[in-house]
Amino acid sequence: MRFDDVFVLGVGMVRFGVHKQRSILELAREAGFAALDDAGITLRDVGEAFTGYMQAAPMLGTRIMKEFGLTGLPVSHVENASATGLVAFREACRAVQSGACDVAMALGFEKMTELAAAGRERAPRAPGHAAIDSVIMPAAYFALWAQRRMHERGTQPWHFAEIAAKNWNHGALNPNAHRQAEKTITPEQVLASPIIADPLTAMMCCPVDDGAACAIVARGAVARRLGSAHAPVRVLASALQSERYTPGHTFLGPVVGPASMTRDTAREAYEQAGVGPEDLSIAYVHDAFANEELEYYELLGVCAPGEAEKVVEEGQTKLGGRIPFNSDGGLIARGHPGGPTGLAQIHESVTQLRGEAGRRQVPGARVALAHLVGGGSVCTVDLLRRE
């Protein structure tokens, strides 16, 4: 969907990590107030809210919104697995674009560490999911993708290690990142970490963590009236697609989903936004496992098919490279609590486009892409631009 007049008014987040002593309400409250303060507004100004979480209790989003006020505003809950945060953001943008409201809020939160603890006893399985496909852990099915890539393209595990090391090192520059290594991480260290699912090692996988993040969007007139000190950031377009059937489709088991899903979704977003991959300054992708990021270089059109390994070898996606990917550390280092992950991508996109990213600032960053896949069954891509 193309947006004609939607701007990001404010962003806020809680550093991702293991927040054992803090409730999900506290985390969500901190991120929400940070975004409201960044926007310079209160809940009185917000016309509609979308909360994103994967595993929490029914109505939790509506209960948490009461922390900011009780104004009668409509509150809806969005869930799309790993893509949840970006889809909540998309819904907020659609609410503004449609004219339903002038200002909308997207708030994501999650305590994934509590879910993971439960998962040690049995598979983390929701009602309605088959027991038969719950025995395999997520790393396995992304490893299947990596093995196929290695078979077809001669990709080596160190290509994946290079990407992981890059994201660990980007995370070290981000105060909101879960993993902030004190020394530079090398691909050798990544390869030497414990093997999880061949060829993925522990340091190529995202951590389990908790967190919250929030973004507030508004019509341009509202943004101008409030007179923000920040550079204005426009949301150009958002695309969301589910799977398309092709013969040989894998239905059973936790699966990656067809690779074409990311290609098709990105193509739709580019067409709607009127920009192409050549226009991107920065990109944020679903690097829950390092081999995914390599595939997305091609599927997002940042390089030609078969050239992703060269992109890695030449360091094109590091800070300082041609097009930095996951400047905030990505899912691997910034973290991946679930519900708030996409809103952390928006937080970093906006911080970069405003020119406020400090030591990890990409000079002159103008166009950002945020991408997530969810549950192997959906993909979403947003495009943002500094005006």
Partner 1 sequence: MSGSPSGARRVPIEAGFFTIPEDRGEAPKLLASRCGRCGEVYFPRRISCIQCYARELEPIEIGPRGTLYTHTYVHVPMFGTSERDAKGYGVGQVDLPEGPRVQAVLSGARGDFQIGMPMELELEALRETPEGDEVVIMRFRPLAAAARA
Classified as helix, coil or strand, 309 is: helix
Pick from 130, 192, 221, 304 the residue near partner 1 by CB under 8 A: 130
Site for partner 1 (CB under 8 A): which residue of 181, 195, 226, 259? 195
> Is 59 one of the binding residues for partner 1 (CB under 8 A)?
no
Is residue 270 close enough to count as binding partner 1 by CB under 8 A? no
# chain residues binding partner 1, by CB under 8 A:
38
Among 72, 251, 320, 364, contact with partner 1 (rule: CB under 8 A): 251
Pick the binder of partner 1 from 247, 320, 363, 364 (CB under 8 A): 247
Residue 131 interacts with partner 1 (CB under 8 A)? yes
* Interface with partner 1, residue 118, by CB under 8 A: no
Q: Which helix (DSSP H) or strand (DSSP E) does residue 349 occupy?
A: helix 341-353
Decide: is 135 part of the binding site for partner 1 (CB under 8 A). yes
Q: What is the DSSP string of 161-222?
A: HHHHHHHHHHHTT-TT-S---SS---HHHHHHSPEEETTEEGGGBPPP-EEEEEEEEEEHHH
In the chain, how long is the greatest CA-to-CA distance?
58
Query: Token pair for residue 59?
Result: 């109505």
The residue from 2, 22, 40, 119 that contacts partner 1 (CB under 8 A) is: 119
**Residue with Cβ nearer partner 1 (225 or 244):** 244
User: What 8-state DSSP symbol labels residue 232?
Assistant: P
Give the list of residues 6+ apart from residue 305 with CB closer than 8 angstroms, or none: 298
Among 250, 313, 314, 356, binds partner 1 (CB under 8 A): 250
How many whole angstroms separate alpha carbon 266 and alpha carbon 161?
Answer: 25
126 scored as a contact of partner 1 (CB under 8 A): no
137 binds partner 1 per the rule CB under 8 A: yes
User: Which residues have CB under 8 Å from 117's CB, separation 6+?
Assistant: none
Q: Does 204 bind partner 1 (CB under 8 A)?
A: no
Q: Give me the least distance between CB of 378 and partner 1, in Å please.
A: 17
Q: Both tokens of residue 126?
A: 């929701």
151 binds partner 1 (CB under 8 A): yes
Helices and strands, number each (H, E), in the chain = 13, 11
Name which of 130 and 304 has its Cβ closer to partner 1: 130
Q: By rule CB under 8 A, what string of x and - marks binding of each residue 165-184 to partner 1?
A: --------------------
Q: Which of 224, 249, 310, 322 binds partner 1 (CB under 8 A)?
A: 249
Tokens 């891509």, located at residue: 381
Is residue 385 packed enough to be buried (19+ CB in 10 Å), middle (13-18) or exposed (0-12)? buried
123 is a site residue for partner 1 (CB under 8 A) = yes
Judge whether 287 and 166 are in contact, CB under 8 Å.
no
Binding site for partner 1 (CB under 8 A): 119, 122-124, 130-137, 139-141, 143-148, 151, 194-200, 245, 247-253, 255
